[in-house]
Amino acid sequence: MTLEQLKVLQKIVELGSLKAAAQALHKTQPALSIAIKKLEQQYSIQLLDRQQYRLTLTSHGKIFYRQAQVLLLGADQLDSLGHQLAEGNEALFRIGYDPLCNLDMLLAILKQCQQQFPTTEFQIISGSRFSSLEQLNDDDVDVAIGAWFHLFHGLGDYQALPVGEFKLVLAAAPSLFDKEVVTSLQQLNQYPCVTLLESSLSFDNERLGIHSAKQQFKTKDVHTLKSLIRQGLGCAIIPRSHIEAELASGELITLALEDFEESLDGEVRMIKKIDKVFGPVGQFFWQAVSENSSKLVAASN
């Protein structure tokens, strides 16, 4: 048994056909077929059911594959660790975060990292909604900080630490409505709205926000979104923490609709890929956040 054979099995199970697996692995179909047959012959078991159009695991294959996944994950972690050890301290550590996050709570930990690793460059990368998870999946960042929903487990294998909570509210400038009292989505639909651009994640689309029959503005930046609604260009779903001062002064108001939640509350987590093995910088940062997780959550309330 070799890791190469297990990787072939993994790709066939993921894609359901020899042809698709061969294309993904840049190998020929006969080469993949031989690799699986040798694996089956070694243990005298049938791993794949070849009776259907889509290749599936047999009952023995399912048990075997579960253990194979553990071994492959360990191999990926070992490979990552080897590269980190060869490089020493990371020259670059990248943190992606969503617009709804308040990074103030992590600044003290970032300062500790700066003092501990003075030669490391830290990149703090923002984007549109759910962009941090998108960046993590594309290996554009080392950790992501953003809204966390349990459905994310279906998008990949992640480890996540609670670091805060968020509250989204529907807000606008009073001047937008010209003294009309808006109490329903149907009424709101007649006014422009401002939204954050959607990510490319499968579950993310316009249905997650509010809709308008009028003109829409879209932006990647929550600060631009805030500026747009302050000028009366539309209403928006926005983190309450970003507009507390404007709400207190009356420059902005929150909308209480009969057919829409008054607020959307959720959890903020720091996320890493489960097979990601950090070097010293990443280990220090992750451990510091882990030790202060409960304090960070409490401070966000």
What pLDDT sits at residue 208? 47
- Res 82: pLDDT: 76
Looking at residue 205, what is its pLDDT? 46
C-alpha 171/C-alpha 256 separation (Å) is 9
What own/partner pairs with CB < 8 Å and gap ≥ 24 does 116-119 have?
A: 116/284, 117/89, 117/90, 117/280, 117/281, 117/284, 119/89, 119/91
Residue by residue, DSSP assigns 133-158 as HHHHHTTS-SEEEEEE-GGGGGTS-E
CA distances from 167 to 91, 220, 239, 263 (A): 36, 19, 6, 6
Distance CA 130, CA 146 (A): 7
Write down the residue that tokens 């923490």 correspond to. 241
Tell me the C-alpha distance between 59 and 65, whole Å: 10
| Alpha-carbon gap, residue 161 to 270, rounded angstroms | 5
> In 10 A of CB 66, how many CB atoms?
10
Fold of 90-301: D-Maltodextrin-Binding Protein; domain 2 (3.40.190)
Structure tokens at 250: 């009356």
Fold annotation for 3-87: Arc Repressor Mutant, subunit A (1.10.10)
Domain span(s) for CATH 1.10.10.10 in the chain = 3-87
Q: How many CB atoms are located within 10 Å of the residue 246 CB?
A: 17
Are 149 and 269 a contacting pair, CB within 8 Å? no
Query: What does DSSP assign to residue 53?
Result: S
pLDDT 10s per residue in the chain (301 long)? 899 999 999 999 988 888 999 998 999 999 999 999 999 999 999 999 988 888 899 999 999 999 999 899 888 878 877 776 676 778 899 999 887 777 787 889 999 999 988 878 999 998 777 778 888 988 999 999 988 877 666 556 889 999 988 888 999 999 998 878 888 888 888 889 888 877 655 445 455 456 555 668 888 888 899 999 999 999 998 989 889 999 999 999 999 888 888 788 888 999 999 888 898 999 999 999 999 998 888 887 7
H runs (alpha helix) in the chain:
3-15, 18-25, 29-43, 59-87, 107-116, 131-137, 185-188, 222-230, 244-249, 280-291, 293-300
Residues spanned by CATH 3.40.190.290 within the chain? 90-301
Residue 9 CB contacts under 8 Å (≥ 6 apart), including other chains? 36, 39, 47, 65, 68
Give the HSE-up count for residue 230: Cα atoms under 13 Å, Cβ half-sphere.
14
> Of 74, 72, 73, 8, which is closest to residue 39 (Cα–Cα)?
8
